[in-house]
Amino acid sequence: GDSVTQMEGPVTLSEEAFLTINCTYTATGYPSLFWYVQYPGEGLQLLLKATKADDKGSNKGFEATYRKETTSFHLEKGSVQVSDSAVYFCALSRTGGGNKLTFGTGTQLKVEL
């Protein structure tokens, strides 16, 4: 079945540091890939997405590129801020799946001054 594996946290960074959160997936066909973010006490919200190979999703300084050859969708940001502290979830949705999302376990990011 479908699965998403992402790096375990928590990840603690200093403000302005570079961020990478690794995400790899297993799925048949051509899934769409997503990063969702969960701020403390809130529900999940879409951060970015990519729907085909080599697509790059970007939002709020975050980027991720859909790499079919390595089945990866790593999240990156060049300079993190304290306000980026949250839990980040990698997810996939597959054709014919009714837009059901398969999530990774989540990576908690803490950014300190």
Question: Which residues are near another protein by CB under 8 A?
Answer: 4, 31-32, 36, 41-46, 49, 51, 89, 93-95, 97-101, 103-106
Q: How many CB atoms lie within 10 A of CB 77?
A: 20
Asked whether the beta carbons of 82 and 111 are under 8 A apart, the reply is yes
CA–CA separation, 22 and 64 (whole Å): 10
Q: How far is the CB of 60 from another protein (least distance, A)?
A: 15
Q: How far is the CB of 45 from another protein (least distance, A)?
A: 7
Q: Is 85 exposed, middle or buried (0-12, 13-18, 19+ CB in 10 A)?
A: middle
Question: How many residues does this entry show for the chain?
Answer: 113
Q: Which is nearer to another protein, 45 or 81 (CB)?
A: 45
Q: Which is nearer to another protein, 51 or 79 (CB)?
A: 51
Q: Which is nearer to another protein, 96 or 113 (CB)?
A: 96
Query: Token digits for 31?
Result: 């899934």
Q: How far is the CB of 96 from another protein (least distance, A)?
A: 9
Q: How far is the CB of 91 from another protein (least distance, A)?
A: 8
